[in-house]
Chains A and B, each alone.
Chain A
Amino acid sequence: MLTEEHLKILEKKACEIREDIIKMLLEAGSGHSAGSLGMADVFTALYFSVLDHNPKNPNFEDRDRLVLSNGHIAPVLYATLAHSGYFPMEELFTLRRIGSRLQGHPHFGSLPGVENTSGSLGQGLSQAIGITLAGRLDNKKYWVYCITSDGEHDEGQTWEAVMFAGKNKLHNLTNIIDRNNIQIDGFTEDVMPLEPLKEKYESFGWHVLEVDGHNIRAIVDACRQAQAILEKPSVIIAHTIPGKGVDFMEADPSWHGKFPSPEQAKKALHELRTLKGKIVSEHE
């Protein structure tokens, strides 16, 4: 259980991570704003409450693993890793620069804390399954979290992986879907409808949880609930607002692959600072 005090710290942390995302994207001059901002609360909940990890010893064998499948939201992963202490904060602003360890999409081996390579969509859940199987063979108890986007559920490979995990009852695998309803060409339900997503996963043998992706307490609780399901893999459908925290970016598909101009960044940072850490949930 999160105490009220801890929750306040996490909410403030999520806002700081959002500020750093804006600054990184501005500095980089390219990158994906909407998904990165939208997942800040989920990443904060995972790295500051749920995951058993150690930034000072990033490769210890029993650590929980986080596999990022939709690699284009790398800024939120990098910002969260830096805030956790995996590498110096100032390195965040080398994102996408030549020679940087912060590649435009995550690269296994370049940066401590990055567990997989992604960028071509639909591959992460398969990798997460491999990591889960390796743990099973070694009698490890670690948990594997995979972050997927809703849009990448268009990829056939995602469903190959969903079938495999269901068949093998990989209970220590939790897939967290960023259900923000947008993809590059528009809204997911226009481009390629995914609904009924919950029923699809259920019929593939998964335990399904749905959560407000901006309610940190609810996210932490859902992860704990998933840990209590021992006969199935779990999926947490995290309903998020793309661009969350920056009014003019929210729920606008055009911000999927865009980065802010200096004026827009200034406005965004002002908004985020005014929020003082409190993201208001749209679902409450």
Chain B
Amino acid sequence: MRETVLNSKIFDSDIEKISMRDGYGEGLLEAGKNPDVVALSADLKQSTRVDSFAEKFPERFFECGIAEQNMIGIAAGLALNGKIPFASSLAVFAPGRTWDQIRVSVCYSKANVKIVGSHAGISVGGDGATHQALEDIAIARVLPNMAVVVPCDYIETRKAAVYVAEHKGPLYLRFARGKTAVITTEATPFKFGQAEIFREGKDVTIIACGPLVYYCLLAAKELEKEGISVQVINNHTVKPIDKLGIAKAAKETGAIVTVEEHQIDGGLGGAVAEVLAESYPVPIERIGVKDTFGESGHPRELLDKYGMGVKDIKEAVRTVLKRKGTS
């Protein structure tokens, strides 16, 4: 069982919860050992946890003020001259507000810029729809030369940030604002481009990214009691997506459910549907936001209201299994 490499307390109610952005801040600090790594902020250095890097490497930190478009352009110029810039903001602003700058100044030039979007997903909560990035994966993954990484917890975000500095080329790193369950451990594999099986099962596969991977594991555990054997895959690299891993899961379990805190169109659900349609078509159900904006509320309430709770995941599994049976 792969579960051995995950947090042993994963199904305990007192599982430790730490903010993913803390993981980013720590990972960036570690990546900063490379003197070419530089960081940029648009008046959000504390919110995005770039502050510790700024304190330790003040000469390599650039405060841009509330001017995200300029930040991306500066990052591109730095990258074209050998630096490894991390341009961090809220995901609604980068990549959201700065898509054209990312397209022209970064991606078309293959500039080695890392776009870092924090506060992604509906669970940003109280700030409401304007601040809930639910389209960022879609607009990032459609760009040529761009890679997209969506880690699932604090530890994986730290690992991802360290990896990102080594990655050659434009990359979008996405994570959430709040404290989320720490489901991985130092020993959990994180390999760019490789979907990781977090729980093995034979009836259906849930392919997820971000903090909802935790909910998927909870749902899988509960479904076990109903006699349903659920495989859970943590698909942290949304682009380039692990086509072989997804096709293998489709072949072995015959049904797929995708789970993400993002619009189901264009995000992970869209990406997995594309892979399945082209390689190994099986029934698929997609959990995520369904062509609507969010609203203010507590993260838990919002996830339930917009259909991303454990209950919804279980229901999607039952639905896809019915379709599997009849197809």
- A160 touching B109 by the CB < 8 A rule? no
Q: Does B13 contact A (CB under 8 A)?
A: no
- B70 touching A160 by the CB < 8 A rule? yes
Cβ < 8 Å to B, chain A residues 65-84: 67
Contacts of A129 in B (CB 8 A): 70, 73-74, 77
Contacts of A156 in B (CB 8 A): 69
- A126 touching B80 by the CB < 8 A rule? no
Q: Mark B48-65, 1 if CB is under 8 A from A, else 0.
A: 000000000001101011
- A127 touching B67 by the CB < 8 A rule? no
Q: Which of B38, B72, B101, B105 is most buried by chain A, counting CB atoms within 10 A of its CB?
A: B105
From known contacts A157-B70, A160-B70, A164-B67, infer whether A126 and B108 are also in contact, taking CB-CB under 8 Å.
Answer: no
> How many A-B residue pairs lie within 8 Å, measured between CB atoms?
109
- A161 touching B70 by the CB < 8 A rule? yes
- A127 touching B76 by the CB < 8 A rule? yes
Q: Is chain A's binding surface mostly helix, strand, loop or mixed?
A: helix
- B38 touching A164 by the CB < 8 A rule? no
Count how many chain B residues have C-beta atoms less than 8 Å from C-beta atoms of the other chain: 32
A127 to B74, CA, bound (A): 5
- B83 touching A128 by the CB < 8 A rule? no
Q: Does B310 contact A (CB under 8 A)?
A: no
Q: Which of A117, A123, A127, A163 is most buried by chain B, counting CB atoms within 10 A of its CB?
A: A127
- B65 touching A130 by the CB < 8 A rule? no
Q: Which of B70, B72, B83 is most buried by chain A, counting CB atoms within 10 A of its CB?
A: B70
A126 to B80, CA, bound (A): 12
Select which of B77, B100, B101, B103 is within 8 A of A133 by beta carbon: B77
Contacts of B105 in A (CB 8 A): 116-117, 123, 126-127
Q: Does A131 contact B (CB under 8 A)?
A: yes
Contacts of B101 in A (CB 8 A): 120, 123, 126, 157
Interface residues of chain A, those whose CB is within 8 Å of chain B, are 67, 107-109, 115-120, 122-135, 137-138, 156-157, 160-161, 163-164
List the 10 closest A-B pairs by CB distance, nearest first: A130-B77, A126-B73, A160-B70, A134-B81, A160-B67, A127-B77, A108-B109, A130-B74, A130-B78, A131-B77
Beyond the given pairs A67-B77, A160-B65, 11 more chain A to chain B contacts, judged by CB atoms under 8 angstroms and listed by A's residue number, are A108-B111, A116-B80, A117-B105, A120-B100, A125-B73, A127-B80, A128-B77, A129-B74, A135-B81, A156-B69, A164-B70
